[in-house]
Structure 1
Amino acid sequence: MHFHGTDVRQRALTLLRDGAKNADVARQFGVPRGTISYWKHIDRAKRDECPGRTQRPPCPRCDGELNGSAYAYLLGLYLGDGHIIQNRAMRSPSLSIACAEAHPGLVDECERAMRDVFPKNSVCRVPRKGCWEVKLYSMHMWCLFPQHGPGRKHERTIALEPWQQEIVDAHPWEFIRGLIHSDGCRITNWTTRLVAGEPKRYEYPRYFFTNKSDDIRKLFTNALDKVGVEWTTLARGSDPFNISIARKASVALMDTHVGPKY
């Protein structure tokens, strides 16, 4: 899919608002006529100028009271296993979260969070190989997830808007839980030690979070610092993709507020 920059879109909208024809604007900027028509429609909808339409659908953030706890969890899921799609065949962009079918509880929680954040929208589950794709459509997706953009998340900057950071600061455990449920796990490690000359096996639980984006890992560790969880960075080869939580007190905190996927 080819993405057109914000500058091109704004210049095109300026001409359209001044009365320029869709076809002329499309030729000037080398943008498909259907894209120009869609931009014009969205712009008119935002300004309540669509024919036969008196009010646009409410935005959970701008026009209502956003459920901060559910949003913090859903934001964590999105940063890990979520993506937003918009193409000509769709009237609204869609948010999709991939949830492993091995964890039905996670699928239920993801759907519940979507419904709590977007109470006016329908949520569906689409079966995929080895997972469920939990998705919904909303015209306000860009408002709720400004991190969306062309390319993979680890190849571009991921930074929270001030209003998002306020929500994460107010609900850090929900944010951490969403990130763990997307790109994290709880495992049991083991080692052996000699006790009275005999090898003895010891087991201990540990949490891992793995993500290639430096920015997303930083958001995760910042939230851990806020709630008093100690962590270390482990490299995979030469790349520090893994965040490890192994100290007993920190694992106990994670067990209380996060727990394993189920």
Structure 2
Amino acid sequence: MRTLRMYDVAVRHRALRLLDSGLSVSEASRQTGVSASIIRKWRSRPTGAASPPSLCPRCSTLPCPPAPAESYAHLLGLYLGDGHIVHCGKEVHRLSISCDDRWPGLIEEATATMARVMPASAVSRRRRNGCTEVKSLWKHWPCLFPQHGPGRKHEREIVSAHPGPFVRGLIHSDGYRGLNRVRHELSGGVRWYEYPRYHFKNESRDILALCCAALDLLGVAWRFNNRNELSVARREAVALLDRHVGPKY
């Protein structure tokens, strides 16, 4: 005799989110452990007696769970530095972040952050020439990122609320923390001095402005050393930024 299995509401919602992200019924079944026939029934009757998942605040379709604010701020910084969104058909979009293979820690962190923002969609990786593409499929990626949503980039509340994770994402994707060497000619001979500093480089004036605004919120002194590059070099400013960013690894 076959036993009827009852599933938690969260399992049902996760299965529906997987379908909404573009996965097939069989793949949703594999990831959740729920039979394909039950998932098909859930798809045909998505509401049932349980409360439905959260509505997307931008396109008002199901499902779009709220993203953890700090994780979203970090992912936004990574995306603005080295990310893009591609339409893959059937209203599904792929978010991709390109991570330099010299920094395996960055690849791991980008993967974990993307998974926290959208836990129902599997995060995968693809090796490319000199870098690894961290990617995830979901219908609502265009709803979460600047050029796809309403409002100017520098007016996004997430940057003001969580400037630390945001700057970490920016600098780890399109910047670095390194040592600057300065040569001084003294009466006793030439001496070299080394001190750490941060750099962030981007061709977009909007993204540079976002970085500057976030650094201001953190109380970190910065200056432009080129039209498309800013640096943080004062000892106290570097020490403060180390608490939020730190070197790549």
TM-score, normalised to structure 1's length? Answer: 0.69
Q: Aligned residue for 2:179?
A: 188
Residues 210-229 of structure 1 mapped to structure 2, 5 A cutoff: 210-229=201-220
1:252 to 239, 243, 249: 239
Question: Is the Cα contact below 8 Å between 1:83 and 1:96 reproduced in 2?
Answer: yes
Instruction: Output the CA distance in 1 between the equivalents of 2:125 and 2:113.
Output: 13
Q: Aligned residue for 1:101?
A: 101
Change (3 A) 1:144 1:131: same
Q: For residues 168-201 of structure 1, what are the alpha-carbon distances to aligned partners after superposition, in whole Å with 9 as ceiling and x for unaligned? A: 2221100000000111111111112234432111
Instruction: Output the CA distance in 1 between the equivalents of 2:196 and 2:152.
Output: 31
2:199 to 183, 208, 217: 208
Instruction: Output the CA distance in 2 between the equivalents of 1:59 and 1:209.
Output: 36
Amino acid at match of 1:71: Y
After TM superposition, give the deviation of residue 119 of structure 1 in Å.
Answer: 1.1
Amino acid at match of 1:144: L
Change (3 A) 1:124 1:59: farther
Change (3 A) 1:210 1:77: same
Instruction: Output the CA distance in 2 between the equivalents of 1:53 and 1:145.
Output: 30
Provide structure 2 residue ranges, at least 5 long, that are not aligned to the other structure: 1-42, 58-63
Residues 1-262 of structure 1 mapped to structure 2, 5 A cutoff: 53-55=44-46, 58=53, 62=57, 63-88=64-89, 92-148=92-148, 159-160=152-153, 165-235=156-226, 240-262=227-249
After TM superposition, give the deviation of residue 144 of structure 1 in Å.
Answer: 1.1
3-state SS, counterpart of residue 134 of structure 2: strand
After TM superposition, give the deviation of residue 166 of structure 1 in Å.
Answer: 2.1
Q: For residues 101-135 of structure 1, what are the alpha-carbon distances to aligned partners after superposition, in whole Å with 9 as ceiling and x for unaligned? A: 11010001000001100011110011111111000
Instruction: Output the CA distance in 1 between the equivalents of 2:176 and 2:143.
Output: 30
Instruction: Output the CA distance in 2 between the equivalents of 1:129 and 1:60.
Output: 39
Amino acid at match of 1:184: G
Instruction: Output the CA distance in 2 between the equivalents of 1:110 and 1:60.
Output: 26
3-state SS, counterpart of residue 142 of structure 2: helix
Q: For residues 205-262 of structure 1, what are the alpha-carbon distances to aligned partners after superposition, in whole Å with 9 as ceiling and x for unaligned? A: 1110000000000000000000111111122xxxx00011111110111122211111
Instruction: Output the CA distance in 1 between the equivalents of 2:65 and 2:161.
Output: 18
Provide structure 1 residue ranges, at least 5 long, that are not aligned to the other structure: 1-51, 150-157
Instruction: Output the CA distance in 2 between the equivalents of 1:60 and 1:144.
Output: 13
After TM superposition, give the deviation of residue 87 of structure 1 in Å.
Answer: 4.0
Change (3 A) 1:159 1:113: same
TM-score, normalised to structure 2's length? Answer: 0.73
